[in-house]
């Protein structure tokens, strides 16, 4: 099995960038990722580096072309030995009150992230950044869009499947920003950031023509949206799920809309950054009864 080491990291998604590795459709791959701070633990040092957010890649998938999609199976996620949370000046929900750098470094032991005082938080490792490359140059850190990006979706645990649109030849896929654990909103600015090894399988889906990322997690089907204004981003996530149920599952529009009020959830992965990723989640138990 091929291995892509974290030495092959980038800070921007560039449609003219050179691939770090080429794989065939259906091939499995081990991808190593840095933590979001690239090993730094002092908030003042991280601030000076402007939180660039290293991502491992890009990965060129043979045959991938605009209009296709990449099916990414997260077969195994192995976090490193520790997780770190940094309160950074100017970030988080309460940035005016918590305006000093503050680091919390936590060991990962026995399947738990051990918070100071011995508080054990069950680890649920997930990649915060999964991205194909758009037709324009885009930052890896804090940005998201139809290409995915820094989506911070905590539900992308082992066993999840992500579908990503392809915009350039080969897709130019990248992974990074793994979390040992993170809450919706990441209210103090970051998650439990960690290095990780991802065992993935990437399969080309020709002509799928999806507008944005979709995910199938152990419990939900998810459509992902984004925007610099949270309200419209949330509405778009709902609209995308309604369209999926109507166009691909054959539901009547009003039935689809009503069903989402009963069995769906709109959640915010992260806010108070330039772009906020939003997820519309529908229970798989309900979805599997449709069509």
Rounded to whole angstroms, the Cα distance separating 187 from 60 reads 35
Confirm if 178 and 196 have CB atoms less than 8 A apart. yes
CATH 2.60.120.580 maps onto the chain at 2-209
- Residue intervals of the chain classified under CATH 3.10.28.20 are 220-287
Name the nearest CA neighbour of 44 among 11, 86, 6, 80: 86
Token digits of residue 203 = 């399969």
- pLDDT tens figures, 233-252: 899 999 999 999 999 999 99
Q: What is the mean pLDDT of residues 6-18?
A: 97
On the CB side of 143, CA atoms within 13 Å amount to 19
| Span of 44-48, 132-136, 155-159, 255-259 with lowest mean pLDDT | 44-48
**Per-residue confidence band for 46, with pLDDT thresholds at 50, 70 and 90:** confident
Which CATH number is 2-209's, of 3.30.1320.10, 2.60.40.1890, 3.40.190.10, 2.60.120.580?
A: 2.60.120.580
Torsion sign across C-alpha atoms 52, 53, 57, 60: negative
How remote is the C-alpha of 124 from its chain's centroid?
Answer: 14
State the SS3 of the chain.
CEEECCCCEECEECCCCCCCEEECCCEEEEEEECCCCCCCCCHHHHHHCCCCCCEEEEEEECCCCCCCEEEEEEEEEEECCEEEEEECCCCCCCCCCCCCCEEEEEEEECCEEEECCCEEEECCCEEEEEECCCCCCEECCCCEECCEEECCCCCCCCCCEEEEECCCCCCCEEEEEEEEECCCECCCCCCEECCEEEEEEEEEECCCCCCCCEEECCCEEEEEECCCCHHHHHHHHHHHHHHHHHHCCCCCHHHHHHHHHHHEEEEECECCCCCCCEEEEEEHHHHCCCC
Q: How confident is the model at residue 208 (pLDDT cuts 50, 70, 90)?
A: very high
Specify the CATH number for 220-287; select among 3.40.50.2300, 3.40.605.10, 3.10.28.20, 3.40.190.10.
3.10.28.20
**Mean of all residue pLDDT scores within the chain:** 94
Whether the model clears a pTM of 0.75, i.e. scores above it, the answer is: yes
Task: Give the pLDDT band (50/70/90) at residue 14.
Answer: very high
pLDDT band for position 271 (cuts 50, 70, 90): low
- The per-residue pLDDT for 277 is 85
Banded pLDDT at 263 (limits 50, 70, 90)? very high
Buried b (16+ CB within 10 A) or exposed e, 254-286: eebbebbeeebebbbbbbbbebbbbbbbbeeee
Q: What is the C-alpha separation between 29 and 22, in angstroms, rounded?
A: 10
Which pLDDT does position 247 carry in this prediction?
95
Work out the average pLDDT over 140-166: 94
Q: What is the pLDDT of residue 270?
A: 75
At 280, list the tokens: 């519309």
Q: Are 212 and 167 in contact (CB under 8 A)?
A: no
């Amino acid at each position: 099995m091929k291995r892509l080491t974290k030495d092959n990291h980038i800070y921007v998604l560039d449609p003219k960038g050179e691939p770090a590795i080429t794989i065939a459709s259906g091939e499995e791959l081990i991808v190593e990722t840095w933590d979001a701070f690239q090993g730094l633990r002092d908030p003042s040092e991280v601030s000076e580096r402007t939180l660039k957010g290293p991502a491992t890649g890009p990965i060129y998938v043979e045959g991938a072309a605009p209009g296709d999609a990449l099916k990414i199976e997260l077969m195994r996620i192995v976090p490193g030995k520790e997780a770190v949370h940094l309160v950074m000046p100017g970030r988080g929900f309460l940035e005016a009150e918590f305006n000093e750098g503050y680091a919390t470094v936590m060991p990962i032991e026995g399947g738990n992230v051990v918070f100071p005082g011995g508080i054990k938080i069950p680890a649920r490792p997930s990649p915060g950044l999964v991205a194909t490359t758009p037709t324009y140059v885009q930052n890896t850190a804090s940005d998201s869009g139809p290409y995915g990006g820094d989506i911070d979706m905590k539900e992308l645990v082992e066993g999840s499947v992500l579908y990503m649109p392809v915009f350039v030849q080969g897709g130019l896929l990248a992974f990074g920003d793994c979390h040992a654990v993170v809450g919706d909103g990441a209210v103090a600015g970051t998650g439990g950031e960690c290095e990780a090894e991802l065992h993935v399988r990437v399969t080309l889906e020709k002509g799928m023509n999806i507008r944005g990322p979709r995910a199938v997690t152990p419990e939900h089907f998810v459509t992902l949206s984004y925007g610099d204004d949270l309200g419209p981003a949330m509405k778009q996530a709902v609209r995308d799920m309604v369209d999926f149920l109507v166009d691909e599952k054959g539901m009547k529009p009003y039935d689809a809309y009503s069903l989402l009020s009963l069995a769906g959830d709109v959640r915010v992965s992260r806010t108070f950054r330039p772009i906020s990723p939003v997820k519309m989640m529908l229970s798989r138990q309900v979805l599997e009864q449709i069509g």
